[in-house]
A and B are shown apart, each in its own frame.
Chain A
Amino acid sequence: MSEAPLIEIRDLRKVYRVGRVDVEALRGVDLDVARGEFVAIVGPSGSGKSTLFHIVGGLTPASSGSVRIAGREVGAMSDAGRTRLRKTTVSFVFQKFNLLPNLTAADNIELARFLGGKNHAADPHFQDVLKLLGIADRLRHKPSELSGGEQQRVAIARAVVNHPAILLADEPTGNLDSVNSRTVLELLRDLNQRLGQTILMITHNPEAAAYGHRIVHMHDGRIVATPPPT
C-alpha cells in the first residue's frame, strides 16, 4: 500500500452568493494528489479551477465536503488556522505574478520568509533554488525593472522559500510569451523532479498541461476525467 495522498478532496462544493443568485462554483469534486506529484488542472473559464485552488490554499472556506492536507481537515480550520496553512504548507504562484511593486525581488522573497517565521539567515538549499531559477543576479531589482519571465521566476522563488508541501500555480504562464512560458514550466518541472515539490497547476494551455504527471479536466464545477495516480 502506497502512502496516503498529500491532498484528499471529497465531495467538495462551493456556492457563491452573487446578488440574489446562488452560483455553484464546485459541484462535488473528488481528487487525490500524492506527495511529489505534478498535476495539471485544465478546464474552460468558470469550470471551478480557481475556486478549487482557493479552497485548497485556505483563501476561502468550502460550502461542504472535505479537503484534507497531510491528514489535516482544512474545513475545520479557523481563519487563523488557514492563515497558518498559507504560511507553512501551501503557497501560490499567480498569473499576474503578484509581487509587491515597491519591494525589490530579494525583499519580496525575504518578506515571504519573514511571514513564514523563517527570518533567519538564508539557507544553502534555497541558494540552490535561486541558481536553478536563474535570478540570483536580478534580486536587487524591483518588479518594474524585471521582465515578465523574471518576475514569475521571482514569484516562484518566493513561493518555495519556506519549503511548502504544496505549490499552487494559477496560470503561471498566462502572461508570458512562449519562450518565457517554456522556461517557467521547465523550472516547475525541475522543482518537482529535483526537490520533490508537489505542484498543482491550472492552465488553459495543453502544452503546459503536458508538463504534469497527469491532467485533471474540470467542467461546470466537476472533474470530468481523472486518470489514477501513477
Chain B
Amino acid sequence: MRYRPLRTLLSVLLIAIPVTLILTLVGLSRGMLEESKKRTSGIGADIMVRPPGSSIITFSGAPMDQRLVKMLRQWPHVAGATGVITQPVGGISNVFGVDLDEFNKMSGGFDFIEGGPFKGPNDILIDDFYAQQEKKHVGDTVNVLNHNWRVAGIYRAGKLARMVLPISVVQDLTGNTGRVSLIYLKVDRAENINPVIASLHEKLEGYPIYSMPEYLSLVSIENVPALNSFIHVVIGIGIVIGFAVVCLSMYMAVLQRTREIGILKSLGASRMYILVLIVAEAFMMGLFGTLLGILFSFGARWAILALVPASLQQAIVPDWWLRAGLIALFASLLGALYPGFRAARQDPIEALAYE
C-alpha cells in the first residue's frame, strides 16, 4: 500500500464516501427524530390526538376541527387541551401556530432567553438554536410563509418547535381557519391516562390517539415511511462502490506486481499466501476507508450546520460505525477476491518473464 500511495489514497477515499453516506443518512434521520422527540416531550402533554389517516411521522394540513379541542377539554379527567397547527416552511422545517395561553398552561411556558411572548399579530417566537444559527435577536426580522415577522422572543430549545406563531395567524394565512393539526391533552392523574385514551378511542373512531411515552417510542427510523428502504438502498450502493473500487484497485495492483508475484512463487509462496496478501491489503483499505468515512461524517455535520443552518440536525451515530465498517470491509473483501484468485493462479514462469 505504501509503495503506491496515490492509488491507495484514492481507493481509501472512495471507500470512505459510502461509509460517510451511510453514517450521514442515519445520523440525519436519528438527529431529526431525536430532536423532534425532545421537543414533543417538552410540551408536557400526556396524550396526543392525531388526525384520522395520519401516520406516526407524517400528516398534512390541519384536518381537525378546532371545536374538538374545546370538547376534549371537557372530557372526564382531562385537565387541559390545546390544539396546534403546523405548516412546512421549506425543506423539512415547520412553523407551529399555538394558543400561547393554553400552551403555557400545559407546558409551563417557554423559557425565554431574550424578549418574551407575542405582542402583536406580526410577532414570531424562535428557539435559541434557530436564533444562533440564523444570527437573530429580538427585534430582527424572520421571513416565514412569505411574510416578515418580528422576533418577539427567543426561548430555550426543546419545546414544540423552532418557530412559533399565534395559532389564528397561521390558520388564516394557510386557509385553515378554525382547524388544527394536532391536539395535546393533559390528564389530571397519571393513572387516568390509559382510561382516558380508551374512552377517547370509543368516541373518536379512526383517530390515532397515543400516550406520549407510546408516541415517543414509535418515533424511530423504522417507522418513518421509506426511510429504512432508503438506508438499505444507500448501503447497497455503498457495497457496490466499495466492491468496484477495491476490485479495480487490486486488479491494477496485481498487474503492476505480476513479476513480484512470480518472485514470491519462486521462493515458495503458496497460492493461499498470495491470496491472503491481496485480501489483507484490501482489508486495510476497507479499514482506513471506514476510519476516514467516520471522520467525514463529522465533517458532513459541520458542513450541514454551516450550509443549511437551523434546518437539518445530524447526530453522530457511534453504534453505526461498526455496521458501516463491516459493510465497507465486506465490499472490500468481495472486491479483492477476483484479483486475489487471479494473482494466486498466476503462472510463475510467465510472471517472472513479465516486464
Contact = CB atoms under 8 A, between A and B. Distances in A.
Interface stretch (A79-87, A171-179, A180-188, A199-207): A79-87
> What are the 4 closest A-B residue pairs judged by CB atoms, nearest first?
A87-B268, A86-B268, A102-B3, A59-B348
A84 B268 contact: yes
Interface in A66-117: 79-80, 83-88, 91-92, 94, 98-102, 111-112, 115-116
A54 to B, nearest CB: 6
Given A59-B266, A59-B348, A84-B268, 15 more contacts: A59-B265, A60-B347, A83-B268, A83-B269, A86-B267, A86-B268, A88-B268, A94-B266, A94-B352, A98-B262, A98-B263, A100-B264, A112-B267, A115-B264, A115-B267
B110 to A, nearest CB: 66
Given A59-B349, A98-B352, A92 B266 contact: yes
A80 B260 CA distance: 19
A57 interface: yes
Interface in A154-193: 158
B266 A86 contact: yes
Contacts, number: 52
Interface in B316-355: 347-349, 352
B270 interface: yes
Contacts of B269: 83, 115
B273 interface: yes
Contacts of B259: 98
B268 A98 contact: no
A79 B259 CA distance: 19
Nearest to A57: B266
B137 interface: no
Contacts of B264: 100, 111, 115
A90 to B, nearest CB: 9
Interface in B51-98: none
A91 B268 CA distance: 9
Given A98-B263, A100-B263, A115 B349 contact: no
B271 interface: yes
Nearest to A87: B268
A60 B349 contact: yes
- B266, B270, B352 — which one has the most chain A CB atoms within 10 A of its CB? B266
**Chain B at the A interface: SS class:** helix
Contact of B260 (A87, A92, A100): A100
A94 to B, nearest CB: 7
A69 to B, nearest CB: 14
A98 B262 CA distance: 9
A91 B3 CA distance: 27
Contacts of B267: 86-87, 91, 111-112, 115-116, 158
Contacts of A100: 260, 263-264
B352 A83 contact: no
A60 B349 CA distance: 8
A100 B258 CA distance: 11
A62 to B, nearest CB: 13
B263 A80 contact: no
Contacts of A101: 260
Nearest to B355: A96
Nearest to A94: B352
Interface string A111-130: 11001100000000000000
Nearest to A102: B3
A37 to B, nearest CB: 22
B267 to A, nearest CB: 5
Given A57-B266, A83-B268, A86-B267, A115 B352 contact: no
A59 to B, nearest CB: 5
B143 to A, nearest CB: 62
Nearest to A164: B268
Interface in B258-294: 259-260, 262-271, 273
19 contacts: A60-B348, A83-B270, A86-B265, A87-B267, A88-B268, A94-B266, A98-B259, A98-B262, A98-B352, A100-B260, A100-B264, A111-B264, A111-B267, A112-B268, A115-B267, A115-B268, A115-B269, A115-B273, A116-B267
A111 B264 CA distance: 9
